[in-house]
Each structure stands twice: as structure tokens, then as C-alpha cells.
Amino acid sequence: MHPTQLGPYTISSLLGRGGMGAVYEGVHRDTGRTVAVKTLASHLGDDPGLRRRFEGEIEALLSLRHPCIVELLSFGEEDGQLYFAMELVRGRSLEQLLRSGRTFTWREAVDVALVVTRALKSAHDHGVVHRDLKPANLLFPDEPVGDATVKLADFGIARLFGSGGHTMHGTIVGTADYMAPEQAAGAAVDHRVDLYALGLVMFAMLAGRPPFQGGQVTDVLRRQRTEAAPRISSRVAGVPAELDDLIDRLLAKDPAKRPASALAVGRQLAVIATTAGDADVPRPPTAGHGVDPGITLGPASAATDCDESRRGTAAGTNASAATPRRDEVDLEAPTMDFAHGETSPPDPAIIPATLAGTGDANSQTSPMATKPDPPTGLPQRVTVPATDAARAAASRTTRFTTVEELERVSRSEAAAQERRDFWIRILASVGMLVLVAAAAYTLLRPPTADELHDRIRDIVDDPEADLRDARPHVDRFLAEHAADERAADVRDLDHRLDLDVLEKRARRRRDDDRAMTPLEREYRAAMAREDESPLACLAALEAILTLHADDAIPTPAADAPPEARPALWLDLVRRQIERLGPLADREREQDVARATATLAEAADLAAEATTAADEAARVALLERRRALLTGIIEIYGSRPHAAAEVAEARRLLTPPQDSP
């Protein structure tokens, strides 16, 4: 016996039954709207896994709001029995059309596929993989509303991307004839299983049947995994090469070789629809079947915006509606009497959006993006010990939630969150203004003498710092705190900075000598001798001080640059003399040592000459001695610090005078 009342819905008739439950036609007692009510079989309600699957379908559908996907209206639990209500689609499914002998031209197949790709794109964009796309789940309404010429139904085995899933890895769930290889192998799957299934659906529309059919389900699954699908052009004449290639790519065994997304497939189909020639003529119906004249397919442009939909199967269309199909596989689904309590077939013209749901245990999904937050108000699971009937009855719950109510709550929560965010932004703005005001006060307040001096010392004491960074603080300290006891030290630093600037300027080459003062010219000439001899450079600098010792140094203007201040040039000369002193001393020591060593070498040569074995050797030794002594005179003759060594060299070169 089917229920008579589920929430606000009065149940009128059975539309279909499957492995997990049934779908009924119901009427809302207040609004009078006719809907399809899908239920989880009462004897399965205590199975946590099946409850999760049923709730997972609700969760998936809550995120899918599109005219080409059967709409979820409400959900609830009545005395422990889970159910949800969907729009009732009156019409026929693609499976019914194919079984009735309905044939499709390639253009009709492209038109349908365009709608399906838009529905799949919407589902994938919302993080849902259908995983059971097949002709039974593509519904053609008798009276399409707007562009919804085809509706995608039955998300019973869909899984949200990023969710843990409702089946374990390695479990095969789906319909064998329309199952992707990786799904048939029980491996992890993603959105590309839906693209593979779409290729099989298009193949079936053109050829009248999918490419892989056999006696045993295991044989079909094996062929899905290992056998390459034939080209549709080998089965059907007049198919454009572009469509033939696209279907072949959709049926690639390797998911990486299929098109990347439903959007990409839809774009290729749109190009084929507008550029391929009218090479086909509608084929006659298959022998033994009549053509159903009641179904017409809209043009490709009519399927403008199909994003998401549910599975739908025409209950009572044929015997398969009351018995499990050979190709529907679910290794976890329980067995049940599919025809229990039914004495007459339901109306085949009524397609509940979620009828296949009875076989919803057939489904699985695979992660791709992120899992949406669980919808507020989902029926909570109730696990009841089967051995205690009294406790079971006490634990039954009754609840009812409409999608409209969820959306209203969601909008209310969003508005509350927006208000909270508004006040958070206001508080953050106020805090920022306080910080800005404090920073502005700190920056605009004149620094004290201590603060300026600390900043200067921080730079001076840092061996890696550039002293020029202290210049602004030095100038401000001297301008505002000239009477401070530390001003003398700061003036010394200021003078040091001026000398640094002048020294760097003097190192740069000047092209115009006329622009230089005499002091600058003399300083540059003296410093040019440093590379030749620090001692000579030092002597030149000392000569500058001697030359300008009695000069009257004019007082420069306060804003005069360093190069225009003669006293600063003389201070720079003194700095260089102080720096070059040690270098000059070392040069003196090196010159005397070198000259002394050369004199010793000359003495050794003279001694060797007196004992030479022959005249030629004696002459060569004496010539080498003479060259060394001459070199001492030439090199060190102008260097006062080597005067003694030069005099000795001259004496040794002077030949002895004969006595009278």
C-alpha cells in the first residue's frame, strides 16, 4: 500500500517503483499544484548509507535551479519516511522514443545534445556530476515552458565535488550501457564521465542503440573498459565529419583525451549546427516499430540556458518500469519486490522528475571543485534498531521544508550577515581613522632635540648606514636646537658630511677647467699623483697648505655649495694629508729597503768580478753592477729619504783617482 499523505501532499497514484523506493503523483492540499513525490522505501529508512544517498540527492538538487533541470520543490520526513517533491513532467523520455522506433537526424541529435551540454555545464559549475546520464533521464515535456525543450532528471547517484561520496572506492554504480570506462572499473571519476555518457547518448540517437550491448552486465562493463567504440559514421550515413570526430573524442577511454568541459562540447556542437551541410535525410523507422509523431525537437537556439536537471523515467511505459533493468548496476543496492502492490501500470504520459530515484542507489559522483555547504533544514538521519518496534515508533520524526522557505531563510541570513559586515566595516573604518590620526599627529608634531639626536646617532653608529641619510636630521637639529649642548658634536658631523660631499665631487672629472677655483685645481692635480706615489701626493698637498697659509679666507654665503667654500677645500687637504701620512711612511721604508738591497747586490757582483775565471765574465759582472747603481740614482735621486743610498751609488760609480 502506498501512503495517502506525505507532508502537505495528498498522494493520488504510483508513477514508478525501483530499488530504493517509489515515485507518486501528489497534490499540494493548499496550492493544488500537482507534483512528483519521491520516497525512500520505509523498510530502508533505517539504513544510514541509503539515507545519506537520498539526502545527497536532495542536497545536489538544492544547488541546481535551472529551467532544463527538473525543479526540487520541497523535502521532508513523514513518520520516519524520507521524501521530496519535484515538478511533474508530462511527456516522454528519450528511452521511450528510442524503444518506440523514433529515429533522429544528426541535426536533431545536435539540438538535443546542445540542451544537455548546457544542463551539464550548470550542474558541473555547481559542483555536481550526474554519473547516470542516459536516455531514460532525458525528458521531453509535452508542453515545454520557454526554452526547456529537454529536461535532465534523476540525480540519485550524483555526488557533489569534494564530498566523501556515498559509495566506497571500487564500487560500480550506474547504468552499464551508458557508463564511462573509469566508472565501470570502480575508479575515481570526475565530470568527464558525463561527457562520455553524452557521447553514448548521441550515438544511440543516431544509430538506434548504444555501441556496447551484450547479454551479461559484466560483459558490457568489460567492453566499456577495454573495447574502442566504433565510429558513428560506420553505422550511420550522412553524419558530418566534424560530428563524427566529436563523438569519437567523447568516447575516448582516457578521460584526458575527451573535451575538457561541457562548455567546450557545447561550443563545438554550436559550430557544427551552423556550419555543417544538410547532408542527412530523416531515416525510416526500424522494422517492427512505429514512429511516434507526438515528439518534436526544438532548434539548437531553443536550448539557450539549460544548466541542471533531475533524472526522470516514464513509469509504466513498458515492463522495464516495473522490473529492474539488466544494465542498471549497483553492487550495494538491496533487493526488493519491484512490482509489489501494483496491479495496473501507471500512465506512461506522466514523467516524474525523479522517478528513477527508485534506483537511486545506483549512483556515485566524483570530486572536482568544492563541496557546497549542506542545505539548512535537510531531514536528519534516524537510525532505529530493527529489533525494538516500540523504540522505532518513538524515534520516528516528521518534518517538512520547502525550497522557497530555505531560500527565504538564506536571504534573511544573508541580510543579517550583510548588516554585520556593514558594522564591521564601520568599526574598521573608525579604527583606521584613529590610527591615521595618531600617525598624522606623530608625523606632524615637531621632533624634540632628543628624538633628532637619537635618529642621528642611530645612523652614525650603524656601520652599514649611509651618513647622507642623517643630513635632514642634522640640518633640523642645528636649525631648531643650536643652543643644545650636543650641537657641537652635530656641527662636527655636519662638517664631516660637507667634506664627504666635496671629496666625492672632486673625484668626478671636470670637463671645464675654467669653472674650477685655484684651490680645486691644485687639489685635483695633487690627488692625481696618489696612484704614482703617496709620498709625492703628500708632498704636493703639503705644498698647497704652505702656499695658501697666509690667504685671507672669505666668508661664504650661508647657502653657498661646498665647492664654493675655500676653507672647506683646505680642510679637505688636511684630511687627505692625515690619510696619506701612513702610506707615505710605508713608501719611505720600502724605498730605503729596496735601495739598500740593490747596493748589497752591486757589492756582491763586484766581489764575483774579482774572482772571475776569464775576462768576459768579469766584464759582464761589472756591467750588471754599473746598471744597478745607475738605477738607484735614476729612481731615488729625487727622493730625499733615499739620499744616503743615492750618494753611495754615485761614489761606487766614480772611478778611483790615481795617486800623484
How far is the C-alpha of 201 from the C-alpha of 208, rounded, in Å? 10
DSSP result, 57-98:
HHHHHHT---TTBPPEEEEEEETTEEEEEEEEEEEEEHHHHH
- Rg of the chain over all Cα atoms, to the nearest angstrom: 50
Which residue shows C-alpha cell 548504444? Answer: 210
- What are the residues whose beta carbons fall under 8 Å from the beta carbon of 469, sequence distance 6 or more? 459
Residues 338, 17: contact at Cβ < 8 Å?
Answer: yes
Q: What angle do CA 539, 544, 548 make, to 5 degrees?
A: 150
Amino acid making up residue 151: K
Cα 441 from Cα 428, distance rounded (Å): 20
* Cα–Cα distance, 223 to 303 (Å, whole number): 33
Q: Is 132 a catalytic residue?
A: yes
Cell of 252: 575516448
- The full 3-state SS of 449-480, as one line of letters, equals HHHHHHHHHHHHCCCCCCHHHHHHHHHHHHHH
Question: Which residues fall within 8 angstroms of residue 323, CB to CB, at 6 or more apart?
Answer: 338, 339
Catalytic residue, chosen from 47, 111, 132, 248, is 132
Report the b/e string of 100-109 with b at 16+ CB within 10 A: bbbbbbbbbb
Q: What gap in Å lies between CA 660 and CA 656, rounded to an integer?
A: 13
DSSP 617: H
B/e letters for 373-395, b = 16+ CB within 10 Å, e = fewer, are eebebbbebbebeeeeeeebeee
Per the rule left: phi > 0, alpha: psi between -120 and 50, beta: everything else, 162 is left
Q: Which helix (H) or strand (E) holds 159?
A: strand 159-160
In this structure, how many other beta carbons lie within 10 angstroms of the beta carbon of residue 246?
A: 22
Residues serving a catalytic function are: 132
